[in-house]
Chains A and B, each alone.
Chain A
Amino acid sequence: MLNQIATIIADGILLGLIYAIAGVGLSLVLGVMGIVNVAHSAFLMLGSFFAFELFRRLAIDPTISFFLAFPVFFAVGVIVYRMLITRVELAPQTQGLVAMFGLMVLVESLGTIAWTTDTRVITAAYTNRSILVGPIMLANVKLIAGALALLLIIAFWAFLRYTLTGRAIRAMGQNRFAAMTVGINVQALSTIMFGLGIACAGSAGVTLGMVFPFSPNTQILWLAWAFLVVILGGLGNVANTLLAGLVVGLIQTGVAAFLPFDYVYLVLYVMLAVILVVRREGLSGAVHRWI
């Protein structure tokens, strides 16, 4: 019994790391720029297909794709920022929300045309193997995906905390006007930051694709997970996002161990509703919390 509980906890932590990384980019873009990027999950999905295609066509392992996805999706993020966000970022938030929703639908539709709605899996050499760590049985793929997610989260945290550019991003989230008075080019920094958010989504999508079956439609489910993590953890704070991801992961594995899997979503969404009621502010209020 104790072994089973330990396995559930370890499994929940690994899943939680993946959920946390799915929420980090969304949290940062929302917290600093005030953009509700509902298209975030579309880039998670594209990240999964990025790894899928590299694996299928070039036999590139998803762990390599994880690192390749970051610069590729950073470039995608920069393009999206320049072509779309700059046109709506000064408009009322609803206008930006509609634009991002449109982008999400566009990406999902293009994904459906390219890959159909069939469910895909990435079956790497280690996908169906497990490792016994003491009394705990862990799936290799979750261990690898969790480690990659943790690596990215730590890198992101260190970037925001210890680099001058990271501090400038945090400063911009706290007082955009004052950031401009010290000579920060907020337009250039916003471009970098949105690029980083999408880069995070791309790499997170690779880890999600390693662990879960996916199709272009799966992104809606992932969007709910990402928002759940963001609402639970608050905005722009990497440590809180990590904690929130771990809570969601542990609840999922804990509930799934004792109840039919469908109850997992029931519990998670009830939790989401309770958080929104208790906090009484939702995302619009959360935007004003500082990073």
Chain B
Amino acid sequence: MPVSAPRLEIANVIAGYTPGHPILRGVNLKAEPGHITVILGPNGAGKSTLLKVIFGFLTPEHGAVRLAGSDLSNLPPHQHIEHGIALLPQGRSVFPELSVLENIELGGWSMRSDRKRLREAVEAMFARYPHLRPLQHRVAGSLSGGQQRAVEIARMLVANPSVLLIDEPSAGLSPIVAHQVYQELVALKDEGRTVLLVDQDVRAAIAIADYVYVLNSGKNDIEGDRAAFEGDLGAMVRGWLGV
């Protein structure tokens, strides 16, 4: 499913949960279409906070979040879907008492006025992830961690977003399932989507990255393409993160 994705740009963003006490202190980055842009950094660096700012959960005190040049800084979260931005949050985020089918359908909430299109989009997800079809009437909370992750990814993709914000996708998953998740992120990138990945699994994230930013204490620290991080710089970052 080729996607025409825009560039996501974060320009000098200052933001936090309490006014006057910013977590992000002037962050700049660009995420290009058809690329996986990885954000690394120690705990408390502001990685997840940055995703919350991009998706509208937090309004920056200063700076801008731009998509293809349009400023999204003041949009509420539900309007980001309409701009083609989707967020896969950290940890389990299925609706545990709803069925797999109901979970995936809700991913197309923004298409609810066109039921035919929504049905086709849901069907496309079952075609993309055929192992979910036999589970469609199962309650999502009863599935394994890997199956729940697949439901979350399918739900995220129903509206065919062009920009994907991914927060710790392998957290709590077995190594085999985590590997499958990273391969899926590569497939999504190859479809032309803009992928912004926040991760603590430095090795796995760098392995699929096109470009890497490291945040420290809410500021840009170092950055470079994958090749730069696979060499000495990679070892330095891993040592710095203690992994």
Contacts and interface: CB of A to CB of B under 8 A. Distances in A.
Interface of A: 164-165, 167-168, 170-171, 174-175, 177-186, 290-291
B89 A181 contact: yes
Contacts of A178: 89, 93-95
B109 A183 contact: yes
B106 A164 contact: yes
Interface string B64-102: 000000000000111011100011110001111110001
Given A170-B98, A180-B57, A182-B81, A164 B112 contact: yes
B159 interface: yes
Contacts of A175: 93-96
A7 B186 CA distance: 68
Given A164-B112, A167-B102, A182 B96 contact: no
A168 B55 contact: no
A183 B96 contact: no
Given A167-B98, A170-B97, A170-B98, A182 B89 contact: no
B97 A290 contact: yes
A151 B74 CA distance: 44
A185 B77 CA distance: 8
B169 to A, nearest CB: 14
Contact of B96 (A167, A174, A179, A186): A174
B159 A183 contact: yes
A177 B93 contact: yes
Given A164-B112, A175-B95, A178-B93, A185 B78 contact: yes
B199 interface: no
Given A181-B55, A182-B81, A182-B155, A164 B109 contact: yes
Given A167-B105, A170-B97, A174-B96, A183 B110 contact: yes
A182 B102 contact: no
Interface in B94-145: 94-98, 102-103, 105-107, 109-110, 112
Contacts of A164: 105-106, 109, 112
Contact of A183 (B78, B89, B93, B102): B78
Contact of B106 (A171, A177, A290): A171
A145 to B, nearest CB: 32
A178 B91 CA distance: 11
A184 B97 CA distance: 17
Given A175-B96, A181-B88, A290-B97, 8 more contacts: A167-B102, A170-B97, A175-B94, A182-B106, A182-B109, A182-B155, A183-B110, A290-B96
B131 to A, nearest CB: 21
Interface string B16-39: 000000000000000000000000
